[in-house]
A and B are shown apart, each in its own frame.
Chain A
Amino acid sequence: AQSVTQLDSQVPVFEEAPVELRCNYSSSVSVYLFWYVQYPNQGLQLLLKYLSGSTLVKGINGFEAEFNKSQTSFHLRKPSVHISDTAEYFCAVGSYIPTFGRGTSLIVHP
């Protein structure tokens, strides 16, 4: 069994500030972790993934995430956000049929 908890439903932040979107997971098998982004009225696209190896994963648009096995977390970070980062972000766990969290709405204010 696998599950994902996204700890914040909404994260407001000012432009150029750093941001962290939190994700905790549980999985009884090998851990594949993903972050997806959904811009308004669009489908989801892959931001980054962790399969194995280095625990710090870099993705598109300046985002990165750190896999922490002891804390079962996979938090997403960006050092300086832009207005265009306003979107819904989904964490997912699983290799074949991933389970998704409920999403975190990142709102970037000017």
Chain B
Amino acid sequence: NAGVTQTPKFQVLKTGQSMTLQCAQDMNHEYMSWYRQDPGMGLRLIHYSVGAGITDQGEVPNGYNVSRSTTEDFPLRLLSAAPSQTSVYFCASLQVGYGYTFGSGTRLTVV
């Protein structure tokens, strides 16, 4: 089992550019989430999904968009990148009662 796969691992964007961070899981989990990790801030929830076709906002959703057309995939779109979006992004899928399985992360720098 691959678990949760995130691509790319590293990305540098210019301010104003858009991009999509990919996330795929092969565990048939219904719940998936996107977090950003910043020094001293822990993990902050951006968006989450409780199943295909159902998404909702987390704590810090501004500037990000998501969709969930299949159980496996949960891409995160940056609409117009800003330096404040420089961060490490983690995708995770959840089996209720068993905890999250995390991807290895995407380190994004916006210049």
Contact = CB atoms under 8 A, between A and B. Distances in A.
Interface of A: 6, 9, 32, 34, 36, 42-46, 49, 51, 90, 95-103
Interface residues of B, number: 24
Interface stretch (B13-21, B41-49, B79-87): B41-49
Interface of B: 31, 33, 35, 40-43, 45, 48, 50, 58, 90, 92, 94, 96-105
Question: Binding site of B, secondary structure by majority: helix, strand, loop or mixed?
Answer: strand
B22 to A, nearest CB: 15
Given A90-B43, A97-B31, A97-B33, A42 B104 contact: yes
A102 B100 contact: no
Nearest to A32: B97
Given A6-B42, A97-B45, A99-B45, 13 more contacts: A34-B99, A36-B99, A36-B102, A44-B43, A46-B101, A90-B43, A95-B96, A95-B97, A96-B94, A97-B48, A100-B42, A101-B42, A102-B40
